[in-house]
Amino acid sequence: MKQPNILLLFTDQQRFDTIAALGNPVIKTPAFDRICGQGVAFTSAYSPSPVCVPARCCMHYGQYPARTGCYDNAWAMPEDRPSFMQVLADAGYRTHGIGKCHFTRDPKALRGFQSREIQEEVPRRASDDYTRFLEAEGWGELPEPHAVRGEMYYVPQVSQMPQRLHPTQWVGDRTVAFVEAQKGSVQPWFLFSSYVHPHPPFAPPVPWHKLYRAFDMPLPNVPADVESLQTYVNRMQNRYKYRDQGIDNNLLRNMKAHYYACISFVDYQVGRTLEALERTGQLGNTLVLLTADHGEHLGDYNCFGKRSMHDSCARVPLLAWMPGRFEGGVRCDAPANLVDIMPTVLAAAGCDTDGLALDGVDLSSLLDGTSGREAVFSQYRTGATAIYTMVTRRWKYAYSAPDNREFLFDRLMDPGETRNRCGSPSTRAVVKDLRQQIIKWLAQAGETGAFEGDTWKVYPPTEVSLNPDAGLIIQDRPDFKLDLPGYTDSGDELPLDNS
C-alpha cells in the first residue's frame, strides 16, 4: 500500500463545543459526528495563539509563537524553515491548498504547497480565485463576498449570494473535484481544505439561514462576576467590534443561530468530501484531520471575538480518523495543540523529523500515553498587550500583561471557567508552580521580555478609552471605492484594519 493520503479540513473561528457527537444538543453536524464515531476526538485541544495568522503559522511549522516569531495577524511568517507541506512535497507528496491560508506577508505564497486555489476573507480581485469565479458567474460587483464587515461585523446576516456561489460551497466543490481527480493516482497527496466560516460576519446562504431559530438558542455563559473575568484585550475587542454599548439577548441568540448555521453548512461540505473519498476508493488509505485556528466568545463573558485565554476562544475541535491509527470512536482528554498537527502528519507519512525542532508531538502518542507531555501553551502578543496561557489536565493558568493579573481555572471542578481561583489560600502553591513552569518554558524558547527572574515583568496598565467612539475600526475591502456621484466626494479616506 502506498503512503497514506492526508486531508486536513480546517475552519476559522470554530468553537470546541460545536459538534453534536461531543455533547452539543442543539447543533446538527452529521459529517463531524461520523468522524467522531469512526476516529478519535481530542477533547482538550488548544490553539497555540488565539488569533488567525499566528495559530496557522504555528500549525504549519510545528512551533509555538516564541519560536516562529509570529504573534499577531500583521506579523510575517518565517522564511528560514520548512513547513510540513514542504516536507511532504520533498517526500514525494502532491500538495495542494484550497481556501483561506492567511499567509503573511505574501497572501499568494505557496509555503510548501505545489499549487493553491485561493479564497481569502478580505480578497483582492487580482489574486483571489474565488472572486474571479464570482466575476465569471456575473457576480463581480459584490464588494464583500464574505458578507458586510466593519460596523456590521457582529450583526448576523443572510449571504448576498445563492448557495451554489457561496464561499463555503466553493471550497467544498473544489475539494470534491480535487479528491475525484486523484482517483487511481499512485502518488500520495496532501490536501488543505480551509473554510473562512464560521468566522464573522455570520452569513449562511438560503435556506441554511433558517436551520436554527433564535428562540431555540441557549444564552451565552455569563458568570455573576463577569467583569472580573475579562481582560484588557476583551474590552478592546468589544469596542472595535461595535459590541460594547449594551447587551441584547435576542441579538445574541440570533447571532448564535447564524453561527451554528455556518458550521452546519461547512459540515455539509465535509460530508460531500467524505462521500467523494468513499466513492473513489480512497477513504481507507487517507488520514482525515479536522480542526480550527481558534474559537469565538460569541457573547460568553459578555465578550466577542478571540485573542483571549478562555476556552470559548482558545480551545478548538480536533478530530483524527485513519484506519489502524486513529479509529474506534475514542475520546482523548489529554491536552493537545495545533503544533501537534505537523508531527502527526509527518509520522503518518513516514517522514524524518530530525532537525525540525518541533514543539508538538504525534497525536497517536497521546492515545497510548507515551508522549511524556503534561501541558500545552498558548500566547498572544502585540506590544505590551500579551496573554500567556498554560493548560494541564487539571488546571489552566493565564497571565494578562496589560492588566497585571493572573487567572487560574480548575478544569475539572469548573469547566465553564466561572471562578478565578488565583488568590485562594488553597491554590497558592499551584499558582506559583504553574507560573514558574510557563516562565521556564518561555525562557527556553528565547522569549525573555515577559518576565524578570521568576516573576512577570510589570508594564504600565492599559485601559480602553472612555470615549465610546475611540478605537472603532473600519474593515472595508482594500480595493473598494464608494463612488456615488452627487453623494460622495474625494475627501479623506477612512483607515482600514482587516485583522
Domain stops at, among 318, 345, 374: 374
**CATH number reported for the structural domain that contains residue 444 in this entry:** 3.30.1120.10
- Distance of alpha carbon 447 from alpha carbon 426, whole angstroms: 31
Tell me: pLDDT of 496 over 70: no
Nearest in space to 198 (alpha carbons), one of 258, 243, 123: 258
Specify the pLDDT at position 490: 58
- Domain assignment present for 477: no
Beta-strand relationship, 286-292 and 40-42: unpaired
206 plus 339 within the same structural domain:
yes
pLDDT at residue number 152? 92
**pLDDT, tens digit, 9 for 90 and up, residues 435-462:** 999 999 999 988 888 899 889 999 888 8
Q: Is 288 exposed, middle or buried (0-12, 13-18, 19+ CB in 10 A)?
A: buried
The tally of domains found in the chain comes to 2
Question: Per-residue pLDDT averaged across 455-472, rounded?
Answer: 90
C-alpha grid cell for residue 33? Answer: 459526528
Q: Return the amino acid letter for 395.
A: W
pLDDT the model gives residue 474? 85
Average pLDDT over residues 298-309: 96
* pLDDT score, position 242: 93
- pLDDT of res. 165: 97
Q: Which of these three, 313, 342, 374, is where a domain ends?
A: 374
Structure confidence at residue 176 (pLDDT): 98
Residue 311 lies in a domain: yes
Given 374, 403, 427, the domain boundary residue is 374
Dihedral sign for Cα atoms in the order 10, 16, 20, 22:
positive
Task: State whether 81 and 61 are in the same domain.
Answer: yes
Res. 215: pLDDT tops 80? yes
Residue 269 lies in a domain: yes
User: 3-state secondary structure string, the chain?
Assistant: CCCCEEEEEEECCCCCCCCHHHCCCCCCCHHHHHHHHHCEEECCEECCCCCHHHHHHHHHHCCCHHHHCCCCCCCCCCCCCCCHHHHHHHCCCEEEEEECCCCCCCCCCCCCCCEEEECCCCCCHHHCHHHHHHHHCCCCCCCCCCCCCHHHCCCCCCCCCCHHHCHHHHHHHHHHHHHHHCCCCCCCEEEEEECCCCCCCCCCCCCHHHCCCHHHCCCCCCCCCHHHHCCHHHHHHHHHCCCCCCCCHHHHHHHHHHHHHHHHHHHHHHHHHHHHHHHCCCHHHEEEEEEECCCCCCCHHHCCCCCCCCHHHHEECEEEEECCCECCCEEECCCEEHHHHHHHHHHHHCCCCCCCCCCCCCHHHHHHCCCCCCCEEEEEEECCEEEEEEECCCEEEEEEHHHCEEEEEECCCCCCCCCCCCCCHHHHHHHHHHHHHHHHHHHHHCCCCCEECCEECCCCCCCCCCCCCCCCCECCCCCCCCCCCCCCCCCCCCCECCC
In a domain, 493, yes or no: no
Q: Can you give the pLDDT at residue 105?
A: 87
Cβ pair 232, 167 in contact under 8 A: no
336 and 444 both lie in a single domain = no
Is residue 319 located within the same domain as residue 218?
Answer: yes
User: Do 202 and 262 belong together in one domain?
Assistant: yes
Residues 17 and 72 reside in one and the same domain: yes
pLDDT category, 82, cuts 50, 70, 90? very high
The verdict on 349 and 424 lying in the same domain is no
Quote the radius of gyration of the chain (alpha carbons, Å): 22
Same domain? For 296 and 408 the reply is no
Cell of 251: 441579538
Same domain, 360 and 288: yes
Close Cβ partners of 1 (under 8 Å, ≥ 6 residues apart): 285
The residue range of the domain holding 100 is 5-374
pLDDT bracket for residue 188 (50, 70, 90)? very high
Q: Which residues contact 218 (CB under 8 A, 6 or more apart)?
A: 26, 256
Residue 492 lies in a domain: no
- So what's the pLDDT on residue 161? 94
Q: Does the residue 466 lie in any domain?
A: no
* Residue with grid cell 480581485, as numbered in its chain: 125
> In angstroms, rounded to a whole number, what is the distance separating the alpha carbons of residues 373 and 334?
9
Do 341 and 388 belong to one domain? no
Lowest-confidence region among 19-23, 129-133, 171-175, 446-450? 446-450
Q: Is residue 170 part of a domain?
A: yes
* Residue 497 is assigned to a structural domain of this protein: no
Contact 389/377 with Cβ under 8 angstroms? yes
Report how far residue 221's alpha carbon sits from residue 344's, in angstroms, rounded to the nearest whole number: 34
Kindly tell me if the per-residue pLDDT of 415 is higher than 80.
Answer: yes
- The answer on 441 and 298 residing in a single domain is no
User: Are 253 and 122 contained in the same domain?
Assistant: yes
